[in-house]
Amino acid sequence: HSFTHAITRKPSVSITAGLRAVDIGTPDLALMQAHHADYIAALRSTGAEVIELAALEAYPDSVFVEDTALCLPEGAVIMRPGAPSRLGEAAEMAPHLRALYGNVVQIVGADSFIEGGDILMTETEILVGRSARTNAAGIAELTHRVAPWGETVREVFTPPGVLHFKTDCSLLDAETILSTTRLSASGCFKAYRVINVAEGEEACANAIRFNDLVLMPAGFPRTRDSLLTAGYHIHEIGNSECAKLDGGMSCLSLRF
Ligand code: CIR
């Protein structure tokens, strides 16, 4: 599967007010902008078109566009983020997806909550982890909306205390998943080849495969070396500032 497009959004000045599970310091906007520019350059280096949306000051977490939508081959699904401060970000993304896709559907149930960070799409199924942001009604509604496109949804486990399902895993190729041990131990990846991140390097499980590259956060040498040995083309991106807000490689783009 190759990607022709990605959508990103510039970090806003209000990023300093972004949500975080634990306060380990305020993100530095200038450094985040530099990391963000490196990220976009890496995506573009694969030949894809990257659409950069303007910053949204009203939404401190809006740089993390992945949570607003799910992009499938047949169409896009606009999410309903479970974080109240992020709910409005989905409506901000909708017109951009309508401009690119013929088919855009929306999660609308008042009780349905689901964020893109809880969704891992493989070539054969859509895995969704229930979390503090994604509930059973949200998963049920997604299942119903994508069924006409022949897509199946499987509900999986998000480790306790972990923000999103995909905080702890990534798809590296059609059959390979990079995962933390605390997640893969749940058995949810039985049908796949699993590469576990090195102990103590849990924070690099959120990576992305984009065309011929795997983008991973810088600073996790043991996992990087095992991925290099496995034959992946690794591109490291600084993630220190997004990490202060529990964000990583997948959060920063919608890819299709
Ligand atoms: C949040 O708590 O919503 C943001 N600070 C981080 C979102 C990260 N998004 C993702 O993992 N897809």
Distance from residue 250's CA to the centre of ligand 1 (Å): 10
pLDDT tens string 164-220: 999 999 999 999 999 999 999 999 999 999 999 999 999 999 999 999 999 999 999
pTM above 0.95, yes or no: yes
pLDDT tens string 16-43: 999 999 999 999 999 999 999 999 999 9
**ipTM exceeding cut-off 0.95 for this assembly:** yes
What the block records as the tokens of 33 is: 């902008």
φ/ψ of residue 238, rounded to 5: -60, 135
Positive or negative: CA dihedral 186, 244, 35, 88: positive
- Residue pair 232/215 in contact by the 8 Å Cβ criterion: no
Annotated catalytic residue 235: no
CA-based nearest residue to 69, from 3, 119, 34, 35: 119
Candidate from 56, 65, 67 with most ligand 1 atoms within 8 A of CB, to mutate: 67
Candidate from 16, 39, 61, 119 with most ligand 1 atoms within 8 A of CB, to mutate: 61
- Residue pair 37/51 in contact by the 8 Å Cβ criterion: no
